[in-house]
Amino acid sequence: MCIETLTVRTEIAISFWVFLSFDQLCEAIEVSMTMSNSFYGYSLILTFFMLLLHAWSQLTPDFYDKTCPNLQNIVRNEVQKAFNRENRMAASLLRLHFHDCFVNGCDGSVLLDVSGGEKFALSNRNSVRGFEVVDSIKSTVERACPGVVSCADILALVARDSVVVTRGPSWTVLLGRRDGFVSISLNGTDAALPSAFDTLDAIIYKFKRVGLDEKDVVSLSGSHTIGLARCVAFSNRLFNFENTGRPDSTMDPYLLYQLRKLCPEKGDQNKTTLLDQYTEGRDCINIFDNHYFQNLLDGESVLSSDQALLSSSKTSYWVQIYNDDNDRFLDDFADAMIRMGNISSPTGSRGQIRKNCRRVN
């Protein structure tokens, strides 16, 4: 068999075999090796196998086009239904993807019900939510395409569609992630996730650990244009900021007055308020836009970690850019979400396709 023929047959084989599961692929390779009794036959199989493994290791937008062609419509419709039931859910689902990717990569591990695992870390406890929505979406996807779509990919699609449903930007979601087997420890999770109580330097460090930069810090923080914050996340600013005995001097006085009424010193720390304040009169609650950055410039951000973006020229520069140019913010946010979605995502033969997102198979 000449090399040209070998190459052509390999390309033809890849076009069909790329849609097999890993177990099916191994079985097919074993059968082919048994049937082949020539040097070129073995070469064909080896060449094919190496090229296929390379193809499998890449995230692509069309990964499920053949194996689950209606996937994106299913997810989009389910996200819309969840949003219609509870507007807050869009921000919650977006946050799930963020918290998944920053801890051991985008592998769906935040969904695992593992004692002492990510879901129950201080950063996530009574904070991340929307698991039942993901369960419902996964069940719907499984009925259409059993054993095909990973929970990690569902989180990536859900995050995009949660932004779209709040009139934010869309982007092409790269797919092909596999689900991880392990949920990182409580301490490991808290060490990896940026916190509302972190300094700006600590937040930038955590972003850079996963390949993101200061621009990404600002653009992704812009997701706080939707969603709610609990009193526990910002009450440190209201009465005794950094042990000064006084409130945070960078907070707008009227906002301070309002938040103190909502969250008195010995009050319920689970009460919530909008992250993007003063949106009621603008008819844009749960509208994904750049108003968040105007809040920062006016001292009207709720979280100290948000207001801290003005404390360094490396981040305040982007705050001003995004405040002045909504389209630039939306474009950069979409680009940052794509990069975040690529963080250490298991692909190819690594990981598994969970049947139930809450536990390994």
How many Å apart are CA 262 and CA 256, to the nearest integer?
A: 10
C-alpha of 51 from chain center? 29
* Residue from 54, 97, 99, 224 carrying the catalytic annotation: 99
Residue 224 a catalytic site member: no
Instruction: Select from 347, 291, 343, 317 the least CA-distant residue to 58.
Output: 347
What is the DSSP track for 192-260?
HS--TTS-HHHHHHHHHHTT--HHHHHHHHGGGGSSEEEGGGTGGGTS-GGGSSS--TTS-HHHHHHHH
DSSP state at residue 314: H
The first and second tokens of residue 288, run together, are 């994904």
Instruction: Select from 353, 360, 2, 302 the least CA-distant residue to 154.
Output: 353
The first and second tokens of residue 148, run together, are 């095909």
Instruction: Select from 228, 193, 212 the least CA-distant residue to 335.
Output: 212
How many Å apart are CA 305 and CA 250, to the nearest integer?
A: 12
What number of other Cβ atoms are within 10 A of residue 98's Cβ? 21
Strand runs labelled E in 277-327: none
**249-284: burial string, b at 16+ Cβ within 10 Å, e else:** eebbeebbeebeeebeeeeeeeeebbbbbbbeeeeb
The catalytic residue positions are 99
